[in-house]
Chains A and B, each alone.
Chain A
Amino acid sequence: MFTATIFLPLLGAIIAGFFGNRLGNRFAQLVSVLPMLASAVFSCVILFWVGFQGQSQTIHLFTWIDVGTLEISWALRFDTLTAVMVFVVTVVSAMVHVYSIGYMAQDPHIPRFMAYLSLFTFFMLALVTADNFVQMFFGWEGVGLCSYLLIGFWFQRPSANAAAIKAFIVNRIGDFGFMLGIFGVFYAFGSLDFDTVFDAVPGVAGQSFNFLGMNVDIVTTLCLLLFIGAMGKSAQIGLHTWLPDAMEGPTPVSALIHAATMVTAGVFMVVRLSPMYEFAPIALTVIVFVGASTAFFAATIGLTQWDIKRVIAYSTCSQLGYMFFAVGVGAYPAAIFHLMTHAFFKALLFLGSGSVIHGMHDEQDMRRMGGLFPKMKVTAALMWIGSLSLAGVPLFAGFYSKDIILESAFAAHTGMGLYAYWLGIAVALMTAFYSWRLLFLTFHGKTRADDQTFDEVHESPPVIIAPLLVLALGAIFSGWLAVEYFVGDQMKEFWGGSILMLNNVIEEAHHVPDWVVWLPTGMAAIGIAAAWVMYMAMPGLPKQLATAIRPVYRFVFRKWYFDELYDMIFVRPSFYLGHGLWKSGDGDVIDGVGPDGIAAATRNIAGRVGRMQSGYLYHYAFAMLIGIVGFATWFLFGFFQ
């Protein structure tokens, strides 16, 4: 059953992909949805066995690469961390599959879409069940590929193609670090198996090696390199630019890949490698800094965007920042906890916004929405649930996970921990604000849509609503149900050996002052109230405010100019350089001096020599005369000496 859980989606993808066109859309949907549902059911059983019965196991499939001392196998590792991830991935994926039946019903390429979704799920499962670095990288690149394919799913749109390439290449920049990290791990530990490496880390900690001519601490360097990979995949500041653009893909894709699963792979990776990161305090500090900064920066952008999906995308980016600084302060279980609750409520929000877009006939701009509540009550209610959870309103899932993260940051008692805490508080305020800005702009107030569009707005069919209900259950209850096991009293037994924690920051997080606990909730309330004031009570206010602080607003609205900057320093110079090297390097210098130059010189000399053969007798006679004179002179002088 363990193996089947992983390979059923692959089977579905292959059948739907290769035979879908011949056997029809309905068939393709069935053949991908049913294995996925089975997989999701199995994953619940696995979570029960592994997480609650402690039956961790590793299933060895076969040897992949065996060269010298490098040995890598295909293996499925099931410990609690994996089981939780498998559970999250398969459940969300199954819901997205079902949802896609309704959402993509009008699309001409249904089999291809379903196949990609299932293939993605397979790669994601391969990633989380990996037993070694290389298999993890296999899944890592596989999900990247599917993300590329799905972002560019509507291949006729130039913007979708551009976004797809951007996603792949920015991720590859992260992979650059990941790969170097893998090479370094093999160099330092002589193995790429997780268990072997983890056992050896304490012995290697503190030693240094020569990297790029510098003498640096081994574990810290490797952890930082690997973290670059995580930054790319999880869209952390600097390598985040692909995520908002990725919204070009169909909405189910955004929900599954760019909110719930793939983008959290970076968080998962760091948690999986906790036995390494625990011995690299500097790397952890960097992670806190990057995570907190991303959370803040993405939230500011989220305040200003008009595209409903982009708001949620920046929100995702920001929430990933939360997870990272949780990891950085050593609260790994809190990060995974938030990963799970976030998967539910963010997928819910995305799919809900998809339902809105569907109902509005592909309208995504919130400036042309508003007042939709009477038309789509269920969707609106579900979006409210998702937002309540996201904002961390008590009793909703997000409340539990976000609180423990902020409390852990506070309890870490480090400068960086406090930096994260205070930025986290600010983010909580902004999160609540932009979430309700989104709700008010979309569902409440007067509509700004034109009459015809507004008349045609309709609630989505049950096949779209049903998965949302399941996710809503998760967004409401998953926090309350899981808190004891993930970060509470049962924590140690639940996680078993899958996560290593040298400090007990989570323990301490339960004993922080009361104001630390309630400040985020208070902030959420203020944020909601502020959104109400600005978008319901005084709708003219946002505009005035934007004008008043125009430079700041512009800077934030243009996403801190990251895209323009990268285009200027990386993209354009690469093309310019490539063209220059081709024309001048290859063309003028190498060929000019080399073959063409030699050929020209040969022809030139040959031409001159050829001209000597004029055919006139006196030319030859003259040449002979010169020769004789020269020869005679040399001979005479030589003779006299």
Chain B
Amino acid sequence: MESFPVLSLTTFLPLVGVLFILIVRGDEETVAHNARFAALWTSIATFIVSLILWLNFDTSTADFQFVEKHDWIPAFNISYHLGVDGISMFFVLLSTALTPICVLASWKAIKTRVREYMIAFLILETMMIGTFAALDFVLFYIFFEGVLIPMFIIIGVWGGERRVYSAFKFFLFTLAGSVLLLVALLVLYFEAGTTDIPTLLAFRVPAEMQLWLWLAFFASFAVKLPMWPVHTWLPDAHVEAPTAGSVILAGVLLKMGGYGFLRFSLPMLPLASEQFTPLIYTLSVIAIIYTSLVALAQEDMKKLIAYSSVAHMGFVTIGIFTATQQGIQGGIFQMLSHGIISAALFLCVGVVYDRIHSREIARYGGLVERMPKYAFVFMIFMLGAVGLPGTGGFIGEFLVLVGAFQDNTWVALLATTGIILGAAYMLYLFRRVIFGKLEKTDLKGILDLEPREVAIFAPLLILVLWMGLWPQPFLDVMNVSVANLLQNYQTALSAADAITVVGR
């Protein structure tokens, strides 16, 4: 198994599916049919291959595993370098797990240009996996930016009424941030002479340079995450994107920002990270309270969940920058659980949207009468979003706040208000959609979940409860990598302190 390129296979297997879909010929119906199945089987196969990563993962080492390294552009010392550690492994799995679900969720919802749609999704999958597996900065950047293209197309072509505005807003926001990332990348290259991530992780960037590099990274990752106040693209993008687009956007794309902070900002620029922690805390706390309040006032289901995503990501950034074992693991765990829960919530919206073609909350009410299964599923995920113990949402929030309390009690206090507001807007949403009298005429004939939808929700449901009741298998994987990251971080900080002392 050592030499078998599992990661490359996982990354590029979706492209094989793309080839298949491209080859298919025939009338539109056949093509659509085949494209659907090809995409489904490819993504399932990719998921199964990616499970090998977890099964063979060595939790006792912080080193990168399943490493593949080949020369790519030797003249600039750039290589094709893949590998995962305890921080990135689950993000790869999250991507491979959500893609088949997205394909299934689009089964009936997408009726036009099915072939192109499925191709876009499979390319997107490759890009996502590549982002999390890349161990070369240039390679990372290509994947990281490459994600934008299929996503832009998915929103822009298969989206709702204001899809073009939203697609451009999404694209330009993220691109603006990424340009600075590219600049930072070049600076780093000229300084260190390499784009190899493991080498860079060990490289000590000069203190005065760290500030600028950190801000450049920050610009990119903060938009992606998104942090307040650069979050406004997210509600628009979510509202206009097709259901599966929202699922991937909330489930995986947002996590790239958090992953970026963890992989680059914190370990490569420890001094600047420490210096800017108050900034991150402030923005995150504002995000949690501000967007929770905004979510309370929403009239559109998708927008509400989009705003709640921003609030949940606020917990992630707090956790990462507490620089404590609990905080960082909580941050990663929160990203994973939010990846599942928000994805599922968007799917829940998709279920009723497919039937009634409206996302307006006021259009619904009393659904539990006709759709008890749906109500149950929706409830579990709603509770996950609220952070009820026993669901995955709790573990992440809890660990983040445990970490935050150790670093700064004000942050812990203010962030904890998020659990009150979170309960308020989610329960209020649930009440308006699920409870009450079933009065609207077109709702009286609404059908409960069909088997395909049950198949979509069942794995997510199991995951949410598993992550809440027995999160240890997940936490074990991260443990050593995070401990190692922290150790290096602390060493770098104390070394810098020593230098300043000597300098005086």
Q: How far is A145 from B471 in the complex, measured between Cα atoms in Å? A: 21
A574 contact set on B, CB distance < 8 A: 293, 296, 421, 424
Q: Is the CB of A578 within 8 A of B297?
A: yes
Verify if A469 is at the interface (C-beta below 8 Å from B): no
Q: Is the CB of B475 within 8 A of A65?
A: yes
Provide the main secondary structure of the chain A interface. Answer: helix
Q: Report B's interface with A, CB cutoff 8 A.
A: 169, 172-173, 229-230, 232-233, 235, 290, 293-298, 324-326, 329-330, 366, 368, 372, 383, 388-390, 394-395, 398-399, 401-402, 404-406, 409-410, 412-413, 416-417, 419-421, 423-424, 427-428, 431, 434-437, 469-472, 475-476, 479, 483
**Partner among A67, A161, A184 whose Cβ is within 8 Å of the Cβ of B326:** A67
Residues facing B in A152-173 (CB within 8 A) are 152, 155-156, 158, 161, 164-165, 168-169, 172-173
Contact between A138 and B402 (Cβ–Cβ < 8 Å)?
Answer: no
In the bound complex, CA of A110 to CA of B296 (Å): 33
Name A577's closest neighbour in chain B (CB-CB).
Answer: B293
Within 8 A of B (CB), among A71-116: none
B303 CB → nearest A CB, Å: 9
**Chain A contacts for B395, CB-based, 8 A:** 65
**A67-B431 in contact (CB<8A):** no
- Tell whether, in the assembled complex, residue A152 and residue B472 are in contact, meaning their CB atoms are under 8 Å apart: no
Return the contact of A586 from the options B294, B325, B398, B435 (Cβ within 8 A).
B294
Query: A577 to chain B: which residues have CB within 8 Å?
Result: 293
Are A165 and B431 within 8 A (Cβ)?
Answer: yes
A23 within 8 A of B: no
Contacts of B229 in A (CB 8 A): 590, 594
Taking A145-B388, A574-B424 as given, write out 16 further A-B residue pairs in contact, using a Cβ cutoff of 8 Å, ordered by the A residue number: A63-B472, A65-B398, A65-B399, A68-B326, A134-B398, A141-B389, A164-B427, A173-B420, A175-B419, A179-B419, A182-B402, A183-B404, A212-B409, A574-B293, A574-B421, A585-B290
Q: How far is the CA of A595 from the CA of B389 in the complex (A)?
A: 39
Contact of B296 among A148, A172, A575, A586 (CB under 8 A): A575
Minimum Cβ distance to chain A for residue B348 (Å): 18
A68 pairs with B296, CB closer than 8 A = no
CB distance from B221 to the nearest CB of A (A): 18
Q: Are B479 and A213 in contact (CB under 8 A)?
A: no
Report if A581-B293 is in contact (Cβ < 8 Å); known contacts: A180-B412, A183-B405: yes
**Residue from the set A63, A172, A212 with the largest chain B CB neighbour count within 10 Å:** A172
Q: Is the CB of A68 within 8 A of B324?
A: yes
Interchain CA distance A400-B240 in the complex, whole Å: 66
Instruction: Type the 1/0 row for A176-195, where 1 means its CB is closer than 8 Å to any CB of B.
Output: 10011011101100000000
Contact assessment for A156 and B388 in the assembled complex, using a CB-CB cutoff below 8 Å:
no
| With A145-B388, A578-B296, A595-B169 as contacts: A161 and B431 at CB distance below 8 Å | yes
Whether B470 pairs with A67 at a CB distance below 8 angstroms is no
In the complex, chain A residues 209-226 whose Cβ is within 8 Å of any chain B Cβ? 210-213
Complex Cα distance, B178 from A14, in Å, reads 49
Show 6 residue pairs from A and B whose CB-CB distance is below 8 angstroms, ordered by the A residue.
Answer: A65-B395, A65-B475, A148-B427, A182-B402, A186-B402, A187-B406
Q: Are B295 and A179 in contact (CB under 8 A)?
A: no
Q: How far is the CB of A178 from chain B (nearest CB, A)?
A: 10
In contact, B366 and A156 (Cβ under 8 angstroms): yes
* Contact A591 B232, CB 8 Å, known A68-B325, A137-B389, A169-B423: yes
A186 touches B424 (CB 8 A): no
Q: Is the CB of A595 within 8 A of B431?
A: no
Q: Are A184 and B410 in contact (CB under 8 A)?
A: no
A67 lies within 8 A of B436 (CB): no
With A138-B389, A145-B388 already in contact, the answer to whether A67 and B329 are too (CB < 8 A) is yes
- Report yes or no: A213 in contact with B405, Cβ–Cβ below 8 A: no
- Residue among A164, A183, A594 making CB contact with B401, cutoff 8 Å: A183
User: Could you tell me the distance in whole angstroms from the C-beta of A141 to the nearest C-beta in chain B?
Assistant: 5
Contact B383 A145 (CB under 8 A): yes
A186 to B368, CA, bound (A): 41
How far apart are the CA atoms of A175 and B402 in the complex, in Å? 15
Cα distance A594–B172 in the bound complex, in angstroms: 11
Q: Which residue of B lies closest to A154 (CB)?
A: B435
Contact of A186 among B232, B405, B475 (CB under 8 A): B405
Q: How far is A175 from B389 in the complex, measured between Cα atoms in Å?
A: 12
